[in-house]
Structure 1
Amino acid sequence: METFPKIISVDDHTVEPPHVWRDRLPSRYADSGPRIVRAPLKEMTFMGGKFAPVMGAKGDDGPVGDWWVYEDLHRPLTRLDTSVGYDRDEIKLEVITYEQMRPGSFSVPERLADMDINHVQSALCFPTFPRFCGQTFTEAKDRELGLLGVRAYNDWMVDEWCGPQAHGRLIPLTLVPLWDARLAADEVRRNAARGVRAVAFSEIPPHLGLPSIHADDWDPFLQACDETGTVIAMHIGSSSRMPSTSADAPPAVGSTITFANCCFSMVDWLMSGKFERFPNLRIMYAEGQIGWIPYILERADVVWEENRGWGGVADKVHRPPSELFTGHVYGCFFDDAFGLKNLDAIGVGNVLYETDYPHSDSTWPKSREVGEEQMGHLDADVVDRIVRRNAIDLLGLTPDGLWAGPGTGA
């Protein structure tokens, strides 16, 4: 491909620096709020989709890493949090320190430099310690502290990570207190007022002990997103349950079927009636890939056409699910040649590109080369829409692909 467009990645990740909550929470939470502790690892497993680390005591044997400690939670930084720069066969489930990760994982200037290496202009970043939709704060005991933790993260995201030194190239993605839809709505509006147009949410809320999208409980949150044009971004694993088949299935099984939760979630939304009640809602599935979408839309249309009477959706879903998909749903991919060969069955306007920096699946530093290889059969205008223009339109970026929030200079 003669000229490949500068990439706008809708799914990268930030590893939060140690000071995010230390500098923003009231001093009374110094011993219970999120903070970094350097300690040895006693044991760690990741089987059946479940991550189980155990922190050792000072002086114990074992590899030393940096751990986030929050209330009773001990969560280490691992090589899977930041793998770029390592050979694929060297990437293992092990604890690490900040000094052992690529600085672009947590430092804005170094991140921009790594984006330059990778032909990336702008990037939307999901969290690490809060997990992909803030489950860490949702599971906490102290709700007051949890709400402060959510707001502190959002303030850091907007003011520092996406602040002036990012020059509009980092696009904010904020969190909400998932345990209270009205507080969530307030947080959406607070951040929308400073230019934020994306909020993280769970792909399958009942897995977190929360109401399903079929219930009315979420309506205040959905209304706020509808009114402000805030996109609901759902990352694989944002239900704290990665797909797997058995308790002893190795991680490779779950990694192969990571799209499954996105598939289930999308059917939930298409059959919920929410897109007709809230016509400006837009949702996106980060790291879900796109090759599975055509069949699911075909099947959903058949079920709606033939079974909606007894299927419980006739009174709330008044158009074929595939039509609702076209107006409301975006699939995101970084490596999906099959999906690109079936793009006509998905829709050029419903596909976004990503690089997944700094995770082990990331195409960094060759995202351009991967894109050129997989999109070489597509017209230049189609490639430009997938790699840039769809994201610009969806996220309200400037025509040049930058975030024009407060103080960015974009």
Structure 2
Amino acid sequence: MNVDELILVSIDDHVVEPADMFKNHLPANLADQAPHVETDASGVDRWIYQGRVTGVSGLNAVVTWPPEEWAKDPAGFAEMRPAVYDIHDRVRDMDRNGILASMCFPTFAGFSAGHLNHFKDPLTVIMIQAYNDWHIDEWAGTYPGRFIPLALLPTWDPQLMVAEIRRVAAKGCRAVTMPELPHLEGLPSYHDITYWGPVFAALSETGLVMCLHIGTGFGALKLAPDAPIDNLIILA
């Protein structure tokens, strides 16, 4: 077997969401309440939702950077390889790298929508649905068969999660991203079957895969404050 002929299915990729991602997926009367990107005085692009600031990328967008420059610092779109946020450039790079299909975890929203779910309200449910519609219909849907759609959930309410699981499954989504250690987000642990049971049942019924991205769990570890970023990569 020639390793150069291998075709890969990558299940731990990331998308840096483009600044206009909500444009086509919200009613006009909610457009001004959507998460949006602002550039601060230092020239750093930041997502803002309901007044709360979140960085754009950090370690998710260091492709082509020299390893000594890898860090968790937010970066501007201008510093990134376009393929991290542009679907056409992404597929072009996938073709170059021999990647048949890719599953892309979110960036600004948080691996399990933790940044959006900071606000547990009806508006956030709409924003999560808009994110999922963008991810399924626009990001993954532009090149059918090249991406494994991955949806977010409103994790603070089991019935809302069940409803969104069924909604995205009907749209062709095959997986959802959920907290690695939910108790670190103030939620019941996965040992609480009363809380999570309906969610697990809905996932089983629809055949959706529950994906837990490593990262949240670093909050449970006491790491050396002066350790290099490689320390996290090794742990991962």
TM-score, shorter chain, exceeding 0.5:
yes
Asked if 2 retains the 8 angstrom alpha-carbon contact of 1:244 and 1:253, the reply is no
Within the alignment, does 1:194 sit opposite 2:171 as a pair?
yes
Asked if 1 retains the 8 angstrom alpha-carbon contact of 2:140 and 2:149, the reply is yes
Kindly report the root-mean-square deviation, in angstroms, between the aligned alpha carbons of the 2 structures.
2.1
Give the corresponding residue for 1:43: none
Correspondence 1:131-170 to 2 at 5 A: 131-140=110-119, 143-163=121-141, 165-170=142-147
Give the corresponding residue for 1:184: 161
Q: Shift of residue 102 of structure 1? A: 0.6
- Secondary structure in structure 2 of the residue aligned to 1:21: coil
Structure 1 counterpart of 2:214, from 222, 232, 236: 236
Q: Shift of residue 88 of structure 1? A: 0.9
- Secondary structure in structure 1 of the residue aligned to 2:195: coil
Write the letter of the residue equivalent to 1:234. L
Write the letter of the residue equivalent to 1:39. D
Asked if 2 retains the 8 angstrom alpha-carbon contact of 1:198 and 1:231, the reply is yes
Write the letter of the residue equivalent to 1:70. Y
| Gap runs ≥5 in structure 1 | 41-62, 260-410
Asked if 1 retains the 8 angstrom alpha-carbon contact of 2:188 and 2:195, the reply is yes
Correspondence 1:8-407 to 2 at 5 A: 8-40=9-41, 63-140=42-119, 143-163=121-141, 165-215=142-192, 216-238=194-216, 241-246=218-223, 248-252=225-229, 255=232, 258-259=235-236
Count of aligned positions = 234
Asked if 2 retains the 8 angstrom alpha-carbon contact of 1:10 and 1:125, the reply is yes
Distance of 1:105 and 1:188 partners within structure 2: 26
Q: Shift of residue 86 of structure 1? A: 1.3
Q: Shift of residue 80 of structure 1? A: 1.9
Distance of 1:106 and 1:171 partners within structure 2: 16
Q: Shift of residue 98 of structure 1? A: 1.3
Distance of 2:230 and 2:95 partners within structure 1: 34
Give the corresponding residue for 1:380: none
Q: Shift of residue 13 of structure 1? A: 0.5
| Gap runs ≥5 in structure 2 | none
- Cα distance change on mapping 1:258 and 1:149 into 2, 3 Å: farther
Distance of 2:36 and 2:180 partners within structure 1: 28
- Cα distance change on mapping 1:87 and 1:228 into 2, 3 Å: same
Q: Shift of residue 91 of structure 1? A: 2.6
Within the alignment, does 1:2 sit opposite 2:8 as a pair?
no
Q: Shift of residue 145 of structure 1? A: 1.1
- Secondary structure in structure 2 of the residue aligned to 1:81: helix
- Secondary structure in structure 2 of the residue aligned to 1:20: coil
Per-residue displacement from partner, 1:68-106 (whole Å, max 9, x unpaired)?
011131112244230111111233444422122111001
Percent identity, aligned pairs only, is 35
- Secondary structure in structure 2 of the residue aligned to 1:37: strand
Write the letter of the residue equivalent to 2:189. S
Write the letter of the residue equivalent to 2:84. S
Per-residue displacement from partner, 1:182-221 (whole Å, max 9, x unpaired)?
1101111111112211111111111111111111211111
Asked if 2 retains the 8 angstrom alpha-carbon contact of 1:131 and 1:238, the reply is no
Per-residue displacement from partner, 1:258-286 (whole Å, max 9, x unpaired)?
34xxxxxxxxxxxxxxxxxxxxxxxxxxx
Asked if 1 retains the 8 angstrom alpha-carbon contact of 2:57 and 2:107, the reply is no
Moved more, 63-72 or 224-233: 63-72
Task: Please identify the structure whose Cα radius of gyration is greater.
Answer: 1
- Secondary structure in structure 2 of the residue aligned to 1:206: helix
